[in-house]
Amino acid sequence: MISTPWESASGLYKVLVIASMAVSALGIILALVGANTTNRPLMYTAVGIILVGLLTHVAGLVVRGRDVKTYRKQNPPVPKQRPGR
Protein backbone atom coordinates (compact mmCIF):
# COMPACT_ATOMS: atom_id res chain seq x y z
CA MET A 1 0.00 0.00 0.00
CA ILE A 2 1.25 3.47 -0.85
CA SER A 3 1.71 5.68 2.18
CA THR A 4 0.10 9.10 1.88
CA PRO A 5 1.44 12.09 3.82
CA TRP A 6 -1.66 12.04 6.03
CA GLU A 7 -1.13 8.39 6.99
CA SER A 8 2.50 8.93 7.90
CA ALA A 9 1.93 12.23 9.73
CA SER A 10 2.27 12.61 13.47
CA GLY A 11 -0.73 13.04 15.73
CA LEU A 12 0.24 16.61 16.59
CA TYR A 13 0.31 17.56 12.91
CA LYS A 14 -3.14 16.07 12.35
CA VAL A 15 -4.57 17.94 15.34
CA LEU A 16 -3.06 21.23 14.17
CA VAL A 17 -4.39 20.84 10.62
CA ILE A 18 -7.92 19.99 11.75
CA ALA A 19 -7.90 22.78 14.35
CA SER A 20 -6.66 25.23 11.73
CA MET A 21 -9.48 24.35 9.35
CA ALA A 22 -12.11 24.53 12.09
CA VAL A 23 -10.92 27.88 13.46
CA SER A 24 -10.62 29.39 9.98
CA ALA A 25 -14.11 28.16 9.06
CA LEU A 26 -15.52 29.69 12.23
CA GLY A 27 -13.84 32.99 11.39
CA ILE A 28 -15.23 32.97 7.85
CA ILE A 29 -18.74 32.24 9.09
CA LEU A 30 -18.52 35.04 11.65
CA ALA A 31 -17.20 37.43 9.00
CA LEU A 32 -20.14 36.62 6.75
CA VAL A 33 -22.64 37.08 9.58
CA GLY A 34 -20.99 40.35 10.58
CA ALA A 35 -21.06 41.62 7.00
CA ASN A 36 -24.72 40.75 6.51
CA THR A 37 -25.78 42.35 9.80
CA THR A 38 -23.41 45.32 9.40
CA ASN A 39 -21.83 44.49 12.75
CA ARG A 40 -18.28 45.87 12.50
CA PRO A 41 -17.00 44.57 15.85
CA LEU A 42 -18.04 41.06 14.84
CA MET A 43 -16.26 41.42 11.50
CA TYR A 44 -13.04 42.59 13.18
CA THR A 45 -13.24 39.75 15.67
CA ALA A 46 -13.72 37.34 12.77
CA VAL A 47 -10.57 38.64 11.09
CA GLY A 48 -8.65 37.95 14.30
CA ILE A 49 -10.07 34.43 14.46
CA ILE A 50 -9.06 33.80 10.84
CA LEU A 51 -5.57 35.03 11.69
CA VAL A 52 -5.37 32.54 14.57
CA GLY A 53 -6.40 29.80 12.11
CA LEU A 54 -3.63 30.82 9.72
CA LEU A 55 -1.05 30.86 12.51
CA THR A 56 -2.20 27.39 13.56
CA HIS A 57 -1.72 26.25 9.98
CA VAL A 58 1.83 27.64 9.94
CA ALA A 59 2.53 25.81 13.20
CA GLY A 60 1.35 22.62 11.51
CA LEU A 61 3.76 23.23 8.63
CA VAL A 62 6.61 23.68 11.11
CA VAL A 63 5.70 20.43 12.88
CA ARG A 64 5.48 18.60 9.53
CA GLY A 65 8.90 19.92 8.51
CA ARG A 66 10.38 18.82 11.83
CA ASP A 67 8.87 15.35 11.39
CA VAL A 68 10.29 15.01 7.87
CA LYS A 69 13.73 16.14 9.05
CA THR A 70 13.68 13.56 11.85
CA TYR A 71 12.56 10.85 9.40
CA ARG A 72 15.36 11.75 6.97
CA LYS A 73 17.97 11.53 9.73
CA GLN A 74 16.74 8.08 10.72
CA ASN A 75 16.33 6.85 7.12
CA PRO A 76 18.91 8.46 4.82
CA PRO A 77 18.29 8.12 1.08
CA VAL A 78 20.11 5.24 -0.59
CA PRO A 79 22.24 6.30 -3.58
CA LYS A 80 21.12 4.71 -6.84
CA GLN A 81 23.54 2.47 -8.71
CA ARG A 82 24.30 3.41 -12.29
CA PRO A 83 23.81 0.61 -14.80
CA GLY A 84 27.05 -0.81 -16.18
CA ARG A 85 29.21 0.03 -13.17
Tell me the C-alpha distance between 47 and 35, whole Å.
12
- Strand ranges (E), the chain: none
Q: What is the pLDDT of residue 25?
A: 97
Of 50, 44, 43, nearest to 27 by C-alpha is 50
CB atoms within 10 A of CB 34: 18
Q: What is the pLDDT of residue 1?
A: 41
CB atoms within 10 A of CB 39: 14
Q: What is the pLDDT of residue 80?
A: 83
Check: pTM over 0.95? Answer yes or no. no
pLDDT per residue of the chain (85 residues) written in tens, 0 to 9: 457 778 888 999 999 999 999 999 999 999 999 999 999 999 999 999 999 999 999 999 999 999 889 888 888 888 888 876 6
